[in-house]
Chains A and B, each alone.
Chain A
Amino acid sequence: MKILVCAKQSPDSTVRVKVAGDGKSVDAAQITWAISPYDEYAVEMALERKDADASTTVAVVSLGAARAKDSLRQALAMGCDEAILVSGPGADALEGLAVARALAKVALEAKPDVVLCGRQASDDDQGLVGAALAEALGWPHVATITKFAPADAGAGSVNGIDVWKEVEGGHEVWRATGPVVLTVQKSEKEPRYPSLPGIMKAKKKEIPEKDVASLGIDASLPRPEMVKMEPPPSRGGGKIMKDGDAKQTAQELARLLREEAKVL
């Protein structure tokens, strides 16, 4: 089985993000970058399949700024076989639909059996690229999956891919035939740490770079644009009740929770 994972580089989730001077981007100086968490689950899920069947190959593609190469290196160190960077001027400013169209070109060339994407990126939370990629490819899409495996057609033969997805109170199993795009909720295990030999091997691997301009994405198509970014309002001060005995305090607290905070 050949798996292609689409991984976006986004600000590490432990970093405190600040709005930059232009009011519509984040201050890059303060940021350490990492594979977006759901995409990291997708990488782990692909590698779990490779653990189960060593003939599986896992390629990972990232579209964005040149620094995304570091995240691809991380994916290689975790155990992916190859990595592709789609970069060049404007690559990190593409919106979701254009990203999906660009990734579709990469996928058509790579000819995977399965494309895995995280269900959404941790920076814009759009959750668009996976579904739009399926549409651009004309392939089916199953969302928020937790596991996939070759479907057992009996007598040791395999036909299609079984896909598990969480639903309220349980899970469903879907079967897909032919190539499919899956968006990942969570892998069975937490994403693995790269091993030291993995890190050394990854450093020696070439990461081919494609210029996004060469993929023929029509930039004149209608597109939404972010115009403003605002941090959440700073938290107001708390209220300390120090007058009165326990009974009065409790009554006052209940009143405030009901009338001011409106949580009761």
Chain B
Amino acid sequence: MLPAPGADERALADGVAAYAADLAPRIPAAEEAGAIPRDVIADLGRLGVLGMTVPEEDGGLGASSVAFALVLEEIAAVWPSLAVGVSVNSGITEGTIVRLGTPEQKRRWLPRLIDGSGLGSFALTEPQSGSDAAALRTTARRDGGGWVLNGRKMFVTNLRYAPVVIVLARVGEMDAQRPHAGVTAFLVPTDAGGVVIGRPERKMGLLASDTSPLTLEDARVGADALLGPEGKAFGAVAMAGLDGGRIGIAAQAVGIARGAIDRAAAYALERRQFGHPIADFQLVRNALARARTDIAAARLLMLRAAWLKDRGRPFTTEASQAKLFASEMAQRATRVAVQTLGGYGYMREAVVERMARDARATTIYEGTSEIQRIVIARGMLSA
């Protein structure tokens, strides 16, 4: 099996690449301001990027996971902060609504996540529950016809842009033996009473991507907020959604690495030392060649996972492998890129400096590298 993208998938990615390339001059100011400009989100809506994975009958393009991964790679090669926003909107948020939403829920929310008026959001992590996601403490209790939610969520991507956030909360008491039981997903409108969006986090990288805390104080939502089966969201929503999300982060890491190494290679051809372009020196050539090979390998892992997902086959292990390898690879590649540019690579004006900071998040979110290894080992070693 060779997971080579088809001509249509490549054409979609090239279309987005052309748009993304022209964003470059705007990125430094947006990163400085810590926000993705609204008109860029609107553009992504108009260009059909935000709805590309949604089936045609639900108002999207119905493009493949392979196409989506290639598109995320292209965006990340220019602007990783934007890629993660698109990944969370069109991957886990829309993906969960498409998979588990009622026709009414799809009609209500998908158009608003597709049209560029905002970006969807997904709230799982809590102050005390990160990798141990099943230990979450946010609660939901029935109240009349609806639900009342209480708790705190951390590191919620896109929250400030979101019309709706998928919140995972516990219904009933926690059973220490079966902590994932009772976890339930809710579509919480961000304008509902009791929904408080906190101050955006100040991060090491991905500065334009919004990462904000969410507090639910007796947040009241209707019966129609329940998304998917009650009490079974840990497997059906969190884990299933993260599998897909991991392909997105793998794509982001591949894009970051490629963007950084392309710039390093261009610099190496121009920069002269000792009477030669530094691209003539074996130590530079060696580092760039290794990085380029790393990127190619990571892309194949990413495409394999996406290809399996498109065919409805199991891809948990493959998504973890892609995410693990690509994110760790992006650390090495961005390090090479900064090193190749030397002092200039360490300066804030250098794109590779930003890429190196942005790459760092990819080994952490959507499951740390350690969690990916646990997932991969479980696939190998459980009976």
Interface contact A195-B11, CB-CB below 8 Å: no
A76 to chain B minimum Cβ distance, whole angstroms, is 12
Bound: A195/B52 CA distance, A: 10
- A193-B47 CB under 8 A given contacts A77-B15, A199-B15: yes
B300 within 8 A of partner (CB): no
Q: What are the interface flags for B5-26 relative to A under an 8 Å C-beta threshold, 1 for contact and 0 otherwise?
A: 0011001100110110000000
B46 within 8 A of partner (CB): yes
Interface contact B8-A196, CB-CB below 8 Å: no
A70 to chain B minimum Cβ distance, whole angstroms, is 10
Bound: A195/B44 CA distance, A: 9
Interface contact A200-B46, CB-CB below 8 Å: no
A216 within 8 A of partner (CB): no
Q: What residues of chain A lie closer than 8 Å to B19, measured between beta carbons? A: 193
Interface contact B46-A195, CB-CB below 8 Å: yes
Q: What residues of chain B lie closer than 8 Å to A199, measured between beta carbons? A: 11-12, 15
Q: What residues of chain A lie closer than 8 Å to B47, measured between beta carbons? A: 193-196
Bound: A193/B8 CA distance, A: 17
How many residue pairs at the A-B interface have CB separations less than 8 Å?
33
Interface contact A195-B18, CB-CB below 8 Å: no
A137 to chain B minimum Cβ distance, whole angstroms, is 34
B61 within 8 A of partner (CB): yes
Q: What residues of chain B lie closer than 8 Å to A200, measured between beta carbons? A: 8, 12, 61
Interface contact A195-B8, CB-CB below 8 Å: no
Interface contact A194-B61, CB-CB below 8 Å: no
- A196-B16 CB under 8 A given contacts A203-B8, A203-B11: yes
The tally of residues in B whose CB lies under 8 Å from a CB in A reads 16
Q: What are the interface flags for B43-82 relative to A under an 8 Å C-beta threshold, 1 for contact and 0 otherwise?
A: 1001111001000000001010000000000000000000
A67 to chain B minimum Cβ distance, whole angstroms, is 15
Q: What residues of chain B lie closer than 8 Å to A203, measured between beta carbons? A: 7-8, 11
Q: Which one of B12, B15, B61, B63 contacts A193 once the chains associate, using CB atoms below 8 Å?
A: B15
A208 within 8 A of partner (CB): no
Interface contact A196-B46, CB-CB below 8 Å: no
Interface contact B61-A197, CB-CB below 8 Å: yes
Q: What are the interface flags for B139-161 relative to A under an 8 Å C-beta threshold, 1 for contact and 0 otherwise?
A: 00000000000000000000000
Q: What residues of chain B lie closer than 8 Å to A194, measured between beta carbons? A: 15, 47
Interface contact A196-B18, CB-CB below 8 Å: no
Bound: A197/B45 CA distance, A: 11
Q: What are the interface flags for B273-295 relative to A under an 8 Å C-beta threshold, 1 for contact and 0 otherwise?
A: 00000000000000000000000
Which residue of the partner chain B has the closest CB to A194? B15
Please name 14 pairs of A and B residues whose Cβ atoms are closer than 8 Å in the assembled complex, sorted by A: A193-B15, A193-B19, A194-B47, A195-B47, A195-B48, A196-B12, A196-B16, A196-B48, A196-B52, A196-B63, A199-B12, A199-B15, A200-B8, A203-B11
Query: Would you list the 4 A-B pairs with minimal beta carbon distance, nearest first?
Result: A196-B48, A195-B48, A193-B19, A195-B47
